Amino acid sequence: MKSFEALFFALSALLTVGGAVATIGSRRPIRSAMGLLVTILGICGCYLLLGAELLATVQLIVYAGAVVVLFIFVVMLLGPAAVSGTDKASAIPRYVGATVFGVGALGAGVLMRQLASERLTSTKLVKLPDGFGGIEAVGRELFTTYVIPFELTGALLLVAVVGAMAVARGKQADPTRPNAPVNPHLADPHLADSDPSDAQSAINVKAPTGEPSSAATAANAAKPPTGEPSSAATAAKPPTGEPISAASAANAANAAKPGDGH
Amino acid sequence: MNDLSAIGMLVPALIAAAIAAMLPRKAHPKHRLALATSTAALIVAIGWLWPAPLPARDAALPPEWPHLLNLLIGLPIASGLALLLVPTSLARLVRGATYAVFAVCFIASLALLSVPMTAGWHFQFIAPWIEAAGIRWHVAVDGISVWLVILTTFTTPIAAYASFGSIRTRQKELAAAFLILQGTMIGAFVALDLFVFYVFWELMLVPMFLMIGIWGGAEKIKASVKFFLFTMTGSVLMLAAMVYLVWTYHALTGQWSFDYLALSRVVLPDQQAPVAMTAQFLCWFAFSLAFFIKVPMWPFHTWLPDAHVQAPTGGSVILAAVMLKLGTYAYLRFSMGLFPYRSALLAGNLGAFAIMGGILYGALCAWKQDDVKRLVAYSSVAHLGFVMLGLFGATPSGIEGSILQMINHGIATGALFLLVGVLYDRRHTREVSEFGGLAKVMPVYATLFVIVTLASIGVPGTNGFVGEFMIIVGTFVSRRLNQFGPLEAIAAAFGVILSAVYMLGVVQKIFFGPLTNPKNKGLKDITVRESVALAPLVVVIFVLGLFPNLVLNRITPAVSAFAAQYVKSFTDSPEHPTAARLLPKSFFSEAFMTGAPDHNAKATSESPTLAARAPAAGVLPAGLSARADDPALAAAAAVRAARPQDPARPARPQDLIRPQDLAQPVRLQDPARPSDPARPSDPARPSDPARPSDAARGNDGAHR
Amino acid sequence: MTQLPLHYFLALAALLFATGAVGFLIRRNLLVMLMSIELMLNGVNLTLVAFNRIRPANHAGHIFTFFIIAIAAAEAAVGLALVLAFFRLRGSVRADEATLLKH
Amino acid sequence: MTDSVFVALAPILVVAFGGLGLMLTEVLSRRPAREGNHESGPSSDLALGTFVTMATGAVVALSLWLVGPENLAGAKAALPFLVVDRFTLFFEGLLCLGAALTALMAGGYLPEHKLDRGEFYPLLTFSTVGAMVLAASGDLLSLFIGLETMSLGVYAMVGFRRGSLRSTEGAIKYFLLGSFAAALLLYGGALLYGVTGKTDLAGIAVALKTTAGADLGLVLVAMVLILAGLAFKISAVPFHMWTPDAYEGAPTPATSFMAVAVKSAAFALVLRVLIGVFGDAESMSWATGWPPVLALLAALTMTVANLIAGRQESVKRMLAYSSIAHAGYILVGVVAMIEPGNDAQASVLFYLLAYTVTTAGAFAALVLCGSRGKEAVSYEDLAGLAKRHPALALAFTLFLFSLAGAPPTAGFFGKLYIVRAGLGAGLNTLTVLLLLNSVIAAYYYLRVMVFMYMREPAPGAVVAVPMRSGYVTSALVLSAVLVLLLGLWPATSLHVALDAAMANR
């Protein structure tokens, strides 16, 4: 029995560590995601060894079934752009930091035996009660003792949904043309919310292929009618992504209001 | 001398009026009349102010209106803020309102002189403010500050009046800045609560910063930021020292107080070494650094020339006439008042600083300046060196001379800045080399300039002479300056000569000799507006020069009391205070302690000296924290050690702390709230019957 | 269940956590960085479950893990949304492309 | 009535249900087609609605305070996950205040910058719920749920301007480092659970006191991890890298929310953990516990942040660094808690209150300076503000003085209180360092004033066209009044802070 357990643990640990190394080591994110999946399987094995059957299931369903799939979905969506090239030279300090951290944490892992007293590491004397880690025991505790955190999780999930929606809603990127990101101004008048100062720095943003006139109309539609000539405000939102100097735009707005200022 | 009959008052008034009326060469009769009337009124006012003999002790004192100081502080600040709301187009209204407020303040400040200035506090007003922190609104004047308040109310209107003549932009803001500046400066002069003092000390930077930065010269921004940061550096350290002092007071009495009178009772530990990292040295240093920067003393003076040169004329006048005085005043009041032992110990060394860095270095720097305004700024450094020397010497005559000299310097240097401003308005340059022979085209101006220069040098008959003379005499006889007193007096006298050299040198270059520069040919002589601004100052120069007793009479009682107490505080007590202790109220004169919060030493003590010495004698409970070997913290540590540091250490029976001391600030303890067993905040109560009666013999013997 | 000493699991968890942290620090691919965080959280989970093994009186560790899984899923959703938004503007998922904001 | 758990948790519930109501309002309300009309955007009713929700939350917290949390029998039912004591109520009120000011700011900012989408307000509300849970939590579990709820909302708020690279970049950085920090905290928490077998803070503290000796190594590792995670959350140097980027990239109301509410909640977390878990004498002592680490962090944070802030060319970024520096000042107060009986914790709470109103006001002023889709970010943008909008310049000046700690403002009293606590705990060097740092800080605050008062605006600068918004103006006025009130008559709030601090010790 013991040897079987040891073997099972060794297998799980191998899966876990191997998957983790693959996750952080591979150049293609799709392989990383697969590595993550392997890690999760390994951890499932550990959970089973530790008597956490429910958690093993949840881990499989939520992590493997939802989170990893979500990752894979995004990787597929991004296509080749998801592959990162080699890291740049500025990485040296990061490597130093990572090494220090890694060595420290690894040391902590190895020293876990030394750090933790016998009280914490010996499982010999602990008899697990029947049904420990099963759905009934955990579920009962979850809905009695832990009902308040459970309710609070509702707020968490709600905020995650709203947040994800607020950030990512809009036209999807065209996965076939990774270097020609969609300009939101053109695609969706609701998205005319970039700040013009970005335009100068965002070199990668190419001029959109759409018709300029329609873009102007879109921006016009979103413009507040405050009694000024519309051209002034429109100019502040260059629909073509061209770096129109903000000063000139504001200048125009200023000129439109002779009573103000000076 | 003390008693002038009505006719005796009128004669000089009429003479002065006649002179004033004739001074301007080509002026409208209306202007002449106005000039004459105001001069006559001034003279009459001076006569009215002539000090009456002190009344007998039992004679009923005239009533003091308690809100007078609140009015002097509050009215300008409130009206300054209110002016900001007035539309900019109403510039005339703004100016009129400003003058009106200044007039009210000046007249109200004259009421300060209506009572005999006996030693002690006058027009004292105390109101609770933030009781949890022991902060009270405590303002009062005594003979030391009363003249400085009047100097403020006297010079600020003049500066504002002159500024409105030359500055045409954003007058509303300018008026507000002047008003707020005046209110905050008065507040700093009369505050007797350290917190209140600090608030005003910081607040007054703001209008000055804006004044230099908005209406200043080419380098205005650099100068204004430098001014602000220099002053603030000093004042934050002062804040730390203040809080330390308050903590020590709290440790000794169990009460919070920021009150100057209360904190005067605290004696911080010190050693007899010029530089020792003791609490008293550090606190004294933190306080004094703030004041030295403000004065400014060498080597912290570098902000001053920049600020003066860049500031508009009105700003320079206020800066020189009043704001620098805050440094000297505050050194006298706070550094010397709170840390007498330390300031006496270092007086000799500091005297050398005042001589070398202030009087001589300032004079030499002034000598080689080409810019007249910069020259006057350095002369300020030199003159304030005199003032500081008088304070370091700490003889009654030296301190009196210093206070007089503060006023004199305010008047003379203020007038000099106004005169330089006149020149600058005409030619937009202040380079000495640009001028020459101006006496031919601007005779009245030249006359005034020479008069003010003489006053600044200290020629007998002008106000500068009396102050400098008293300071030099005081320095000569001072025992605080060790054996160097006579030497320093001689050096100071040499400084007077130097000042004559550079001042007269510049007068000679500007006004005499041939009129070489063609641009100066058509210069207009002084205008009515300028003469109206200058006339009061010139009059006061002569009045104070001829009748210094007018001022001194009101200063003397306060200064003698101060000097006596100063000396007493380091002669009547042990030379090396090794632990913080609290002097009894009776140590101070009753007049001084009027209004002090009624806190008693924690270990109810018949003889606080004994109680305080006990820790030094090794009776401190064992097991003090490591900090106990630092005498700076010994007292606080004694209290702290007695407090339960952690639950592991059982409360010792000799704990001296009563539970109400532990509930730190004054707050209502909720009886319903159970005290955490892990962190006992209530150690063995003294009322505990199980407590051994002799166990209280921790370090305070039979007290309690 | 198991008679294996607990520190096997603890060491494995620490190793997993450290791997995740290292990955987070050295990789510049935003997706991989996100996955590294998932690794770290899994390390935490394993620690909690392992410790719950010697304290079978309640399921505190299990339930904590339960919640962490939920939190991780929510975090992944928001994180991926941000990555998508970033990609849409930049056309890349490299963290060192994020250079617009510098001192 | 008072034995219901719903009463005890009323402030959180009010805000949460208010948030739900807001979402429903947004969905159900029929708006005319988006004409770009300010009056018809979601902000027109949601901003006020959020403000009212938050104000109600604050009022409920206040009334519970007056009732006295010890009289609420129902509060026990929420233990140990949510603790209802005066500490909690103080933070609930404070967070509601910060969020209310943010909502007002957003009401003007979002339409002006064409960001007027309804999600902002639910995000704001639920982030606040998370922050309130965080402040109230007495258990590691609810603590992490609160932390994540707050953080996820804030990440989304930072990235709210999704068409802007800056905004998204800031959000990504913030997200990555925030999640990393959360993982560190979680691992520390897991180790603590391992050592003690408890997840509630009080239980952990008791268990640590009794049995921890054998597992000191693990406890130390846990403490280090937790301290690192906390340092990330309060953005202490050297864990501050995300702060300036996130602050600069975020829409200004979100920046303000991060600077006030998130920071306050993070400090609530610090106080809860440090006192609740590591509050024993050994952990709190200078020789063997966290104080020296935090003291070092405080010194580094203040000095480095101030030095960098002085070199910034963007006001928003300067305010970001200055907020890091303020975290350093607050840490001094936290370290001063080593002295029992010292009201150091109260000073931290009071400082947070003062800092909240001041910073919210400063950001509101910055919002008002921008216009027409362009934020006023650089110093140049503020040139000549005093001439064009004197009242705005005056208010901005007030906030800057409060930030600099000049009297008679809230910031001054907060600083004085921290200084008092620091000196009382014998931290003389650290306190003097704090004060000297405030001089450095004064330099860059003065710089703003220099530009506002002493420079002429460039032709066509942003300030030339004023932004008009009743919402932002009322936020400005509200915070200005509070800044002056707290500066001139701080007595009541001092008592409140003291009472709150008494509850958490």
> What digits encode the pLDDT tens for the residues A27-67?
788 888 999 999 999 999 999 988 888 999 999 998 888 89
Mean pLDDT of C32-57: 90
pLDDT at B575: 60
The answer as to whether D225 is a domain residue is: yes
Select from D29, D232, D47, D261 the least CA-distant residue to D134: D261
Q: Given D251, D281, D312, which residue is the final one in a domain?
A: D251
Q: Given D251, D272, D306, which residue is the final one in a domain?
A: D251
| CB-CB under 8 Å, C46 with A43 | yes
CB atoms near residue D313 (< 10 Å): 11
Mean pLDDT of A220-248: 38
Q: Do chains B and A touch (3 or more CB pairs under 8 A)?
A: no
The answer as to whether C98 is a domain residue is: no
**8 A C-beta contact, residue D104 and residue D471:** yes
CB-based burial label for A123 (10 Å; 0-12, 13-18, 19+):
buried
Q: Are residues A165 and A205 in the same domain?
A: no
Q: How many domains is chain C built from?
A: 1
Q: In Å, how far is D252's CA from the nearest CA of chain A?
A: 12
Q: In D, which residues are within 8 Å of B664 by CB distance?
A: 341-343
Q: Are residues D226 and D355 in the same domain?
A: no
CA B318 to chain centre: 14
pLDDT at B427: 82
**8 A C-beta contact, residue D195 and residue C53:** no
The answer as to whether C51 is a domain residue is: yes
Q: In Å, how far is D271's CA from the nearest CA of chain C?
A: 22
| CB-CB under 8 Å, C84 with A74 | yes
Domain encompassing residue C75: 6-92
Q: In Å, how far is D248's CA from the nearest CA of chain B?
A: 27
Q: In Å, how far is A252's CA from the nearest CA of chain C?
A: 28
Q: In B, which residues are within 8 Å of D439 by CB distance?
A: 229, 232-233, 236
Taking the Cβ of residue D183 and every Cβ of chain C, the question of whether any pair is shorter than 8 Å is answered with yes
Chains in contact with B, counting 3 or more C-beta pairs less than 8 Å apart as contact? D
Q: In D, which residues are within 8 Å of B647 by CB distance?
A: 281
Phi, psi (degrees; rounded to nearest 5) at A193: -130, 20
d(CA B278, CA B284): 10
Q: How many domains is chain D built from?
A: 2
pLDDT at B50: 60
Q: DSSP for D186-204, please give it.
A: HHHHHHHHHHHS--BHHHH
**8 A C-beta contact, residue B409 and residue B540:** no
More confident residue, A214 or D281: D281
| CB-CB under 8 Å, B236 with D420 | no
The answer as to whether C57 is a domain residue is: yes
**8 A C-beta contact, residue D473 and residue D368:** yes
Question: Which of these ranges, B378-387, B558-567, D25-34, has the smallest mean pLDDT?
Answer: D25-34
Of all helices (H) and strands (E), which one includes residue B124? strand B122-130
Of all helices (H) and strands (E), which one includes residue D236? none
Domain encompassing residue A209: 184-256
Q: Are residues D232 and D354 in the same domain?
A: no
Sign of the CA dihedral with D88 first, then D94, D98, and D103 last? positive
Q: In A, which residues are within 8 Å of C16 by CB distance?
A: 16-17, 20, 39, 43
Taking the Cβ of residue D165 and every Cβ of chain A, the question of whether any pair is shorter than 8 Å is answered with yes
| CB-CB under 8 Å, D172 with C83 | yes
Q: Are residues A156 and A189 in the same domain?
A: no
Taking the Cβ of residue D197 and every Cβ of chain C, the question of whether any pair is shorter than 8 Å is answered with yes
The answer for D 308-367 residues in CB contact with B (under 8 A) is 339-343
Q: In Å, how far is B62's CA from the nearest CA of chain D?
A: 34
Q: In Å, how far is C94's CA from the nearest CA of chain A?
A: 6
Q: Are residues D233 and D300 in the same domain?
A: no
pLDDT at A35: 92
The answer as to whether D257 is a domain residue is: no
Q: Are residues A158 and A219 in the same domain?
A: no
Confidence of residue B162 (pLDDT cuts 50, 70, 90): confident
Q: In B, which residues are within 8 Å of D408 by CB distance?
A: 199, 203
The answer as to whether D120 is a domain residue is: yes
Select from B450, B460, B462, B320 the least CA-distant residue to B382: B320
Which of C16, C26, C63 is facing A141, going by the closest CB pair? C63
Assess whether pLDDT exceeds 60 at residue B78.
yes
Chains in contact with D, counting 3 or more C-beta pairs less than 8 Å apart as contact? A, B, C
Q: Are residues D330 and D400 in the same domain?
A: yes
Mean pLDDT by 10 residues, chain D (505 residues): 78 92 82 54 82 93 88 79 90 94 90 82 93 92 93 92 85 91 93 88 86 74 89 86 87 92 92 85 77 90 91 88 92 88 87 94 88 73 81 90 89 91 88 91 90 78 68 91 89 86 80
The pLDDT tens digits of the residues spanning B361-375 come to 888 888 888 888 888
Q: In C, which residues are within 8 Å of D194 by CB distance?
A: 10, 47-48, 50-51
pLDDT at D464: 58
The neighbouring-strand residues paired with C94 are C29
**8 A C-beta contact, residue B608 and residue B252:** no
More confident residue, A195 or B401: B401
User: Which residue in chain A is spatially nearest to D38 when comparing CA positions?
Assistant: A224
Q: In C, which residues are within 8 Å of D248 by CB distance?
A: 101
* Most confident among A194-208, B34-48, B121-135 (mean pLDDT): B121-135
Which residues, 6+ apart, have CB-to-CB distance to D382 below 8 Å? Answer: D315, D369, D376, D448, D451, D452, D463
In the 8-state DSSP scheme, what is residue D84?
-
The answer as to whether C33 is a domain residue is: yes
Mean pLDDT of C74-78: 92
Average pLDDT across chain B, whole number: 77
Q: Are residues A134 and A202 in the same domain?
A: no
User: Which residue in chain B is spatially nearest to D423 when comparing CA positions?
Assistant: B244
pLDDT at D61: 92
Taking the Cβ of residue D186 and every Cβ of chain C, the question of whether any pair is shorter than 8 Å is answered with yes
The answer as to whether D256 is a domain residue is: no
Helix (H, G, I), strand (E, B) or coil at A246: helix
pLDDT at B671: 39
The answer as to whether A211 is a domain residue is: yes
**8 A C-beta contact, residue B604 and residue B703:** yes
Confidence of residue A104 (pLDDT cuts 50, 70, 90): low
The answer as to whether A72 is a domain residue is: yes
Mean pLDDT of C62-91: 90
- Among A158, A200, A260, the strongest candidate for a mutation testing the D interface, having the largest count of D CBs within 10 A, is A158
| CB-CB under 8 Å, C52 with A52 | yes
Predicted ipTM? 0.81
Of all helices (H) and strands (E), which one includes residue B23? none
Q: Given A169, A201, A224, which residue is the final one in a domain?
A: A169
Q: Do chains C and B touch (3 or more CB pairs under 8 A)?
A: no
The answer as to whether D263 is a domain residue is: no
Q: In C, which residues are within 8 Å of D199 by CB distance?
A: 60, 64
Assess whether pLDDT exceeds 70 at residue B439.
yes
The answer as to whether A20 is a domain residue is: yes
The answer for A 118-137 residues in CB contact with C (under 8 A) is 120-124, 126-129, 132-133, 137
Q: Where are the alpha helices (DSSP H) in D336-427?
A: 344-369, 385-388, 390-404, 410-424
Q: Are residues D365 and D441 in the same domain?
A: yes
Q: In A, which residues are within 8 Å of D115 by CB distance?
A: 193
Q: In A, which residues are within 8 Å of D129 by CB distance?
A: 155
- Among D186, D211, D242, the strongest candidate for a mutation testing the C interface, having the largest count of C CBs within 10 A, is D186
pLDDT at B130: 83
Domain encompassing residue D490: 290-505
Mean pLDDT of B186-199: 92
Taking the Cβ of residue D285 and every Cβ of chain B, the question of whether any pair is shorter than 8 Å is answered with yes
Length of chain A (residues): 262
Q: Where are the alpha helices (DSSP H) in B254-296?
A: 260-264, 279-294
More confident residue, B18 or D59: D59
- Greatest alpha-carbon pair distance for chain C in Å reads 56
Q: Are residues A147 and A221 in the same domain?
A: no
CB-based burial label for A3 (10 Å; 0-12, 13-18, 19+):
exposed
CB atoms near residue B509 (< 10 Å): 16
Q: How many domains is chain A built from?
A: 3
Q: Are residues D199 and D309 in the same domain?
A: no
User: Which residue in chain D is spatially nearest to C82 when comparing CA positions?
Assistant: D172
Assess whether pLDDT exceeds 50 at residue B702.
no
**8 A C-beta contact, residue B464 and residue B458:** yes
The answer as to whether A91 is a domain residue is: no
The answer for A 156-195 residues in CB contact with D (under 8 A) is 156, 158-160, 162-170, 184-185, 189-195
The answer as to whether C101 is a domain residue is: no
User: Which residue in chain C is spatially nearest to A5 when comparing CA positions?
Assistant: C2
